Structure 1
Amino acid sequence: MSAVVKLEDCRERIRKELDNVVNFWLKHSHDAVHGGFFTCIGRDGKVYDELKYVWLQGRQVWMYCRLYRTMERFHKPEILDAAKAGGAFLRKFARVSTSSGQWKCAFCLTRDGKAVKVQRTIFSECFYIMAMDELSRVTGDSDMQLEAEQMLEQLIYWVRVDSSGLGRSQLPGNAPTNSMAVPMMLLCLVQQITEGRKPEVVQKYRELGQWCVQQILQHVQRDGSAILENVSLDGAELPGCQGRVQNPGHALEAGWFLIQYSAEWGDEQLQTTAISKFVDLPYQCGWDKEHGGLFYFLDVDGFCPTQLEWSMKLWWPHCEALVAFLMAYSRTKKPELLQSFSKVYEYTFSHFPDAKCGEWFGYLTQEGKVALDFKGGPFKGFFHIPRCLYMCERILDDLLANKD
């Protein structure tokens, strides 16, 4: 079977899966009483916990808006109405004032919006920003765009100037760390805030984007043979388990972020590095050669990782791998990248989708059996799967429109 025919089959399957996943969340996740979305959803769609996780609320608003704005078949009133309701819930309840007078986003809320927990991280804020910026694009509400930019400025200050606003105590034995998740998310926000905006907005965040790229590249370690999740602030390897941990899914996600950035700025060298070090390398070291699928965590020196779930196969690393390999192939047309995409595609679509109840399982054993059968929880919501399917469908559209 030719690659072109296979890609057409992939696009058809991906398109159907995206429709099914969207329908599942439209049917089961909306809170018509208090607004926002339920994210703790069982296999059959029943809500098993009413807590609302702010980063998942933001992700769902962003995803609905992106689908509504860029895909004609999702340009439906019910999707826009749901995005608006989710955005209103976030604006009303997600932000809490800290003792320093700064705004911080809660990590989770009660069903009616009371703050339950605040984390000392930036990730709730990151997805609040993404939600507000994308919602401003479909509603024309400039106040939401301003909120997004103001919150981003707060994050930049916390990350690059003073992290005390996050409530972290700098203990003498806790060395400052460059965790790859932070510059990755900031780069994602730069791309979100600047997409399609005026040149002065793009230029405003140019230096931040460059800084994020350099911070991500520091994670290429061991003479280019490994991507490590945590390094020191000056890019040196850290001692112990923290320094040896590898997260193949994160590396792959960083890979396609970097490919996007390199395409935007015409940086061929960065594209080469992104594909070879952040796409192919974590796939080669992270793929389970016995059972298939990507490991969740690995230890670069071959020790057993201390994360108890290290050997499990999770939904989101496979989603990131699909996007990364298909995007890399679309930029280079190298057949080995398409072969890797096909291998990940075959594993993913034969293990994660739930043909009986819809949506995807998220947590498999190392052998590929379903370990946890819920469709949503504190960490799995309406984001990685639909974003992957959405992006892959669009890339395949472009590839097949230029199949020669």
Structure 2
Amino acid sequence: MEKERQALQTWKDRVAKELDSVVAFWLQHSHDREHGGFFTCLGRNGQVYDDLKYVWLQGRQVWMYCRLYRNFERFRRAEILDAAKAGGEFLLRFARVAPPAKKCAFVLTRDGRPMKVQRTIFSECFYTIAMNELWRVTKETCYQNEAVEMMDQIIHWVREDPAGLGRPQLSGTLATEPMAVPMMLLSLVEQLGEEDEELSSKYTELGEWCAHRILQHVQRDGQVVLENVSEDGKELSGCLGRHQNPGHTLEAGWFLLQYAVRKDDPKLRTYIIDKFLLLPFHSGWDPEHGGLFYFQDADGLCPTQLEWDMKLWWPHSEAMIAFLMGYSDSGDPALLKLFNQVAEYTFRHFRDPDFGEWFGYLNREGKVTLTIKGGPFKGCFHVPRCLAMCEQILEALLCRLQPDPVV
């Protein structure tokens, strides 16, 4: 037990130090003090190379700052809260481009003018979690009202009428369900229901619906998890149907594990660890060079995505959370071993000891292909969320291992 305690303490110290470094990078380089909000297109040393503002990354950074402020004493600093509020106010002023339907832009100019709208729910989802977290740290009801109103709009689009998304139903379009939609909604259920009995009760049925829809992505007698299935939970033909995303499955795994813990369902917890943690890892880990493949084909055919064999920052961040959470839940030392394997690879290849933060994009051999620290898809979210959650889980594990006081 002492050896285990020392190993966990070493990782906790390492993760906490890295979190401090990552947060410092965004605090130093990303704040737009003239117009509000955040720059996310940052080069290796933090230099802004494009001043466009992506709404989902604005929302993610507001959420991340508030989460750090709320959960970590050392981050309870005025500069972090002030930046979060400035980001939230920027979103309130500019994110929505069609107020009657509450549709958010995908990308804005630096001063908030809309440039592009996506026909998805994801900008709105991250707008929602930003507003909810702002309410939690400020207690200003305007933010919570925004969060709940947007949440209800998202549910309407997903479960009742998607017309407001602007996505025409063409005759050749397959009725598919990407795993991203129910897993994102399940994350929102977790966010809004945290220590809120009224909202937790309101979204109970939605959480059950989301979990059921995600579990339908386990196919072929439990041998694969597919990214896309038909709306009635069947395997699709062609590349779309065979498509796998190991990192996404692992992320869905820890979302589901949180759900199963809340439900106090040990059988479901065991199933999730087997299908959403172990299965994607053993199929998705590169046996030659290490790291998780970005995309795979369930039949072992060559994926059509050009970047399929690259190693990206976010699947490895999600894997770290998933395996540490799985170990905390089950006590299975095999999961701690997998956490160590993924974390060692991640710290060795992605982190930048010279300028801080992590590189996002490696080739199959683990060499950096893009030196940027942020862009349209990478912002202040996956890396600090991973590190913050891992630090909290490690702290809880260490508390469990504390010897009983001598009486």
Matches within 5 A, 1:29-178: 29-97=30-98, 101-178=100-177
Aligned-pair distance for 1:4? 2.1
Q: For residue 55 of structure 2, what is the amino acid of its counterpart?
A: V
Name the CA distance, whole Å, in 2 between partners of 1:386 and 1:32: 22
Q: Tell me, what secondary structure is at the counterpart of 1:91?
A: helix
Name the CA distance, whole Å, in 2 between partners of 1:156 and 1:372: 37
Matches within 5 A, 1:332-371: 332-371=330-369
TM-score, scaled to structure 1: 0.98
Aligned-pair distance for 1:402? 1.0
Deviation per CA, 1:36-77, whole angstroms, max 9, x where unpaired?
000000001100000000000000000000000111000000
Match of 1:389 in 2: 387
Q: Which runs of 5+ in 1 are unaligned?
A: none
Q: Tell me, what secondary structure is at the counterpart of 2:7?
A: helix
Aligned-pair distance for 1:9? 0.9
Aligned-pair distance for 1:96? 1.0
Match of 2:405 in 1: none
Aligned-pair distance for 1:200? 2.7
Name the CA distance, whole Å, in 2 between partners of 1:34 and 1:185: 29
Match of 2:295 in 1: 297
Name the CA distance, whole Å, in 2 between partners of 1:181 and 1:311: 21
Q: Tell me, what secondary structure is at the counterpart of 1:189?
A: helix
Name the CA distance, whole Å, in 2 between partners of 1:77 and 1:92: 22
Name the CA distance, whole Å, in 2 between partners of 1:173 and 1:2: 59
Q: Tell me, what secondary structure is at the counterpart of 1:2?
A: helix
Match of 1:375 in 2: 373
Root mean square deviation, CA, Å: 0.9
Aligned-pair distance for 1:97? 1.0
Match of 1:28 in 2: 29
Q: For residue 360 of structure 2, what is the amino acid of its counterpart?
A: G
Match of 1:12 in 2: 13
Name the CA distance, whole Å, in 2 between partners of 1:144 and 1:270: 35
Name the CA distance, whole Å, in 1 between partners of 2:105 and 2:287: 40
Match of 2:316 in 1: 318
Q: For residue 196 of structure 1, what is the amino acid of its counterpart?
A: E
Q: Tell me, what secondary structure is at the counterpart of 1:116?
A: strand
Deviation per CA, 1:145-187, whole angstroms, max 9, x where unpaired?
1110110111111101111110011111111111000000000
Aligned-pair distance for 1:3? 2.5
Q: For residue 212 of structure 2, what is the amino acid of its counterpart?
A: Q
Aligned-pair distance for 1:2? 2.5
Q: For residue 291 of structure 2, what is the amino acid of its counterpart?
A: G
Aligned counterpart in structure 2 of residue 220 of structure 1, from 218, 221, 224: 218
Deviation per CA, 1:302-331, whole angstroms, max 9, x where unpaired?
111011110000000000000000000001
Structure 1 segments of 4 or more deviating over 6 A? Answer: none
Aligned-pair distance for 1:8? 1.0
Match of 1:254 in 2: 252
Aligned length: 401
